């Protein structure tokens, strides 16, 4: 009797190569689904922690962002986008995830040198640019791979995120105070990713 139940299913193949175990699941991208879920739950946990523990919200949200974006970097290969989009997007999104984890570590350790690297060097110079790459990748997925209602929802959410970014650039240019409440629009992007990743691979 074969007790190795992990190998009880026939191997799925693409272009002659065996696909990983999660290819047997009907979900389009388990990694993107997990990343979006971790981020959304992280936001809820950070809000709850912020109301009860001083300074707890920042490391929680940065940890959730870091783990989520590393998962998104891997999930980029689950969607049907050209390689010239997939590979640079995956590298950029992975780099953004590492930046968030470094910022979370800085929040916990309270080290001035690490804080300088995490927020002044990496945060100021690269975080925004890499974030734009992530938005561009989401737009590519919405245009090239998404179908039906989630495609329409994704395009609306991405358009709203771009509009908020443009508004943020405008108020910064005019010396006006930033409005953090607008950042809630970004959450719609992860709700869309959650829905898109959960769809069937055949959809």
pTM: 0.82
**Rounded distance between C-alpha atoms, residue 76 and residue 88, angstroms:** 10
H/E stretch holding 21 reads none
The pair of structure tokens assigned to 103 is: 């910022």
> Residues 32-69: pLDDT tens digits?
999 999 999 999 999 898 888 777 888 999 999 999 99
Contact assessment for residue 50 and residue 180, using Cβ atoms and an 8 Å cutoff? no
How many CB atoms within 10 Å of residue 31?
A: 20
> Residues 131-181: pLDDT tens digits?
999 999 999 999 999 989 999 999 999 999 999 888 878 887 777 676 666
Integer CA distances (angstroms), 177 to 129, 166, 173, in order: 21, 15, 10
**Rounded distance between C-alpha atoms, residue 72 and residue 97, angstroms:** 9
At a CB cut-off of 8 Å and minimum separation 6, what does 160 contact? 185, 188
> Residues 77-130: pLDDT tens digits?
999 999 999 999 999 999 999 999 999 999 888 888 888 888 888 877 888 899
Torsion sign over Cα 123, 58, 111, 177: positive
List strand residue ranges (DSSP E) for the chain, in order: 13-14, 17-18
Contact assessment for residue 57 and residue 107, using Cβ atoms and an 8 Å cutoff? no
**pLDDT for 74:** 96
């Amino acid at each position: 009797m074969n007790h190795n139940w992990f190998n009880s299913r026939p191997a799925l193949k693409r272009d002659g190569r065996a696909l990983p175990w999660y290819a047997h699941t009907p979900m389009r991208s388990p990694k993107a689904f997990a990343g979006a879920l971790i981020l959304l739950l992280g936001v809820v946990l950070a809000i709850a922690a912020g109301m009860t523990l001083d300074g707890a919200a920042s490391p929680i949200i940065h940890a959730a962002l870091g783990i989520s974006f590393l998962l998104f970097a891997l999930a980029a290969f689950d969607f049907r986008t050209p390689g010239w989009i997939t590979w640079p997007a995956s590298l950029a999104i992975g780099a953004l995830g590492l930046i968030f984890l470094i910022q979370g570590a800085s929040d916990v350790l309270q080290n001035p040198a690490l804080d300088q690297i995490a927020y002044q060097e990496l945060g100021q110079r690269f975080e925004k640019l890499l974030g734009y790459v992530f938005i561009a990748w989401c737009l590519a997925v919405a245009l090239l791979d998404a179908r039906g209602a989630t495609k329409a929802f994704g395009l609306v959410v991405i358009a709203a995120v771009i509009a908020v970014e443009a508004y943020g650039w405008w108020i910064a240019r005019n010396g006006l105070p930033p409005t953090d409440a607008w950042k809630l629009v970004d959450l719609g992007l992860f709700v869309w990713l959650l829905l898109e990743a959960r769809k069937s691979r055949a959809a």
